[in-house]
Amino acid sequence: MANVVIWASGYPSVFANDAAEIKSLNAGTWSPATKDFKAAATSSGVALGAATFGDLLKQIGTQRVGSIDKLGIIAHSNSKMIGLAGKIITTPPQAPDVLFTPSGLIDTSVLKANAAAVAKVKDRFAANASIVLFSCNAGADISLLIGFQTAFDLDCYGFNDHVQTCTNFSGAMITSRGQMAYAPNLSSLVAAGLATPCTYAKNSVWQLQPDAGFFSRT
């Protein structure tokens, strides 16, 4: 059995160097890019990149039949959709924000439209396998979790609030990236200066506790 984590590969960094990225972190205009998602996935199990839903299904298809115990997806998202690709915005007043690329979107309509392709990879999952969406607000509207559960016929979990990313730096050099953090009201604590994402960061995404779910079994 394996825990497989698919990371959004369609978010190139917008920073010329570490110093520019650290400046954005300090200014509160930073959002994680592909290299941050990849780092989080690499420390959490079998790590595979995808920039489209088709890519995601191909990566699932590379696994042995019955071998996936848990599937995690690390990406940007909102309550209605996941984005595996897009553009990171670091310029005020829009920042921090992300513009999704249409080809990288996954929502209920995409899941329904690709039902036949999904059916071809369902046998890669073990009995009682599950999916976790490690992305911001992916559990805030239950419809997205229902869409994944309906498509894959697997329990699906998500998070009501923002999933945070820890980036450590010293001087003008980033020393580590990609640890993820989640706790109820963490966004409010960070905004108030009472905590940082690194306060709650975990070595593996599987240590995070989802607070939303939709289940295929009773």
Domain boundaries defined on the chain: 2-214
Mean pLDDT split into 10-residue runs, the chain, 218 residues: 96 97 96 98 96 98 98 97 98 95 98 98 97 96 95 96 96 97 92 93 97 77
Alpha-carbon span 130 to 71, nearest angstrom: 6
For 58-103, strand residue ranges (E) read 68-74, 76-77, 82-83, 86-89, 97-100
Alpha-carbon span 166 to 185, nearest angstrom: 16
Alpha-carbon span 135 to 159, nearest angstrom: 7
User: Given this model, what pLDDT does residue 218 score?
Assistant: 45
User: Given this model, what pLDDT does residue 217 score?
Assistant: 55
Question: Which H or E run contains 146?
Answer: helix 142-152
For 34-124, strand residue ranges (E) read 46-50, 68-74, 76-77, 82-83, 86-89, 97-100, 105-106
Alpha-carbon span 179 to 186, nearest angstrom: 15
